[in-house]
Structure 1
Amino acid sequence: MTTVTTRTVEYPADGLTMIGHLALPAGTGRRPAVLIGPEGPGLNDFQRRRADALAELGYVALAFDIHGGRWFTDPQEMLARVTPLLADPGRMRDIGHAAWDVLRGEPRTDPHRIAAVGYGTGGAIALELGRAGVGLRAIATVNALTTGSPGDAARIRCPVWAGVGSEDPIMPAGRRDAFAAEMQAAGVDWRLVVYGGALHAFHHPPVDQSVLPGVGHHPLHARRAWNDVVGVLAECVPVTE
């Protein structure tokens, strides 16, 4: 197994001290890098392990924070924090830019080859970075079919891949249609994969806490979605020795 080095990184954003998880691949040279944005409850070990897995594949990976080190166990408390955040593109972009700056500042990062992968709220932040014109090489999101301000999608300069469950009540068919229309009108190189029978957050293992209605794990599609994300990264930001 490839040796991976990890460390915690603290940085300011959204009036908070964010606590991210940085994973570095073996070796000393510069490598392509990936931002990983977490779901609405916040950064947990699941996404930290995702960063570690990408580092094993040769990427510098930063699982970024969105709540100042907090993980919300109460869905309503989470929504009270996340709902206004999702309605404020400027705040989302600031959170994303702060993580982007940390990742770009890592000496192992090739600053010209950075992608963003996001889940739920973290995916919305990744998309807003694209809409802000940040020079990402790819954006991959799961459960994050958010649309932006009119015209902003034209600033996206990289391929966009999105995955969603067919039975996700939080991201219903109307959301899929609006997202597709926005990407198409802007001339973005986009793909949308609908995973049949999957609910919201289908990619995430079950958690021992209350969850919102319409949330549920789908192990098979979770594996497929991860493989699809890795495939997008291999296409757009391949690891080369």
Structure 2
Amino acid sequence: MTTVTTRTVAYPADGLTMFGHLALPAGTGRRPAVLLGPEGPGLNDVQRRRADALAELGYVALAFDLHGGRWFTDPQEMLERVNPLLADPDRMRGIGQAALEVLRAEPQTDPDRIAAIGYGTGGAIALELGRDGVDLRLIATVNALTTGRPGEAARMRCPVWAGVGSEDPIMPPAQRNAFTAEMRAAGVDWRLVVYGGAEHAFHHPPVDHAVPPGVGYHPRQAERAWRDIVGLLAECVPLAP
């Protein structure tokens, strides 16, 4: 395990001042990097710990912000912010590009070896970066089987991996089918893993407020999804060039 240094980075995006969480591994040489997108409620300690875990492995990691430092506990209030965002690919790309610029500007980042990993809304943003033709080595999403504007998936320049819970009512089989049809039509190197028995947000530990039906933590499948993502990083963005 390497020593990790962390700091908060402020940057403008979507008309807000965002506050990302940057985690750096020990050493001074350039490393592959990971742009980490949070769930719809926003950036909290769960995503910060994910970034720290990636830095412990040796990656530069930036967990980016969605809501100007805010984390929503009211699902309805969150949806009022997130739904218009998810309906606007250009806004999503702007949020992702702003965070990517911060990550690329970090001296330890190797700008030619960057992966984007996202959960929920953060995953949708990672996919939109791919559809915008951003040079990434890997896009990995959990609970983010969003489809894009016609034909734009052909711009994706890296492997795309998606994970989803079998019991997720927000990403049902019809949504899975639409996503895989888009990937197939675009000739993308894609994979979809369905985690049996898992609901939406199965990867996020329990929270201390009410959640809608169909949302729930599944620790076994959460651990499996994390291992799958780490394995993908080793395959597509190895620490040794």
TM-score normalized with structure 2 length:
0.99
Instruction: Tell me how far apart the structure 2 counterparts of residues 96 and 102 of structure 1 sit (CA, whole Å).
Output: 10
Instruction: Tell me how far apart the structure 2 counterparts of residues 17 and 59 of structure 1 sit (CA, whole Å).
Output: 25
- Once the two structures are superposed, the pairs formed by residues 1-241 of structure 1 within 5 Å of their partners are 1-240=1-240
Instruction: Tell me how far apart the structure 2 counterparts of residues 158 and 202 of structure 1 sit (CA, whole Å).
Output: 26
Instruction: Tell me how far apart the structure 2 counterparts of residues 79 and 238 of structure 1 sit (CA, whole Å).
Output: 36
SS of 1:171's equivalent?
A: coil
Deviation at 1:240, TM superposition (A): 1.7
Deviation at 1:211, TM superposition (A): 1.2
SS of 2:70's equivalent?
A: coil
Q: Which amino acid aligns with 2:182?
A: E
The number of residues matched between the two structures is 241
Instruction: Tell me how far apart the structure 2 counterparts of residues 6 and 128 of structure 1 sit (CA, whole Å).
Output: 27
Cα RMSD of the aligned pairs, angstroms, is 0.7
SS of 2:148's equivalent?
A: coil
> Which consecutive unaligned segments of at least 5 residues does structure 1 have?
none
SS of 2:117's equivalent?
A: strand
Instruction: Tell me how far apart the structure 1 counterparts of residues 30 and 133 of structure 2 sit (CA, whole Å).
Output: 23
Deviation at 1:22, TM superposition (A): 0.2
SS of 1:56's equivalent?
A: helix
Deviation at 1:126, TM superposition (A): 0.2
SS of 2:48's equivalent?
A: helix
Instruction: Tell me how far apart the structure 2 counterparts of residues 135 and 143 of structure 1 sit (CA, whole Å).
Output: 23
> Which consecutive unaligned segments of at least 5 residues does structure 2 have?
none
Q: Which amino acid aligns with 1:78?
A: M
The one-character-per-residue Cα deviations of 1:114-163 (angstroms, maximum 9, x if unpaired) are 00000000000000000000001000000000000000000000000000
Instruction: Tell me how far apart the structure 1 counterparts of residues 10 and 155 of structure 2 sit (CA, whole Å).
Output: 29
Instruction: Tell me how far apart the structure 2 counterparts of residues 2 and 151 of structure 1 sit (CA, whole Å).
Output: 42
Instruction: Tell me how far apart the structure 1 counterparts of residues 118 and 213 of structure 2 sit (CA, whole Å).
Output: 21
The one-character-per-residue Cα deviations of 1:96-124 (angstroms, maximum 9, x if unpaired) are 00000000010000000000000000000
Deviation at 1:212, TM superposition (A): 1.9
Q: Which amino acid aligns with 1:155?
A: R
Give the percent of matched residue pairs that are identical in Structure 1 and Structure 2.
83
Instruction: Tell me how far apart the structure 2 counterparts of residues 208 and 8 of structure 1 sit (CA, whole Å).
Output: 25
Instruction: Tell me how far apart the structure 2 counterparts of residues 194 and 58 of structure 1 sit (CA, whole Å).
Output: 28
TM-score normalized with structure 1 length:
0.99
Q: Which amino acid aligns with 1:79?
A: L
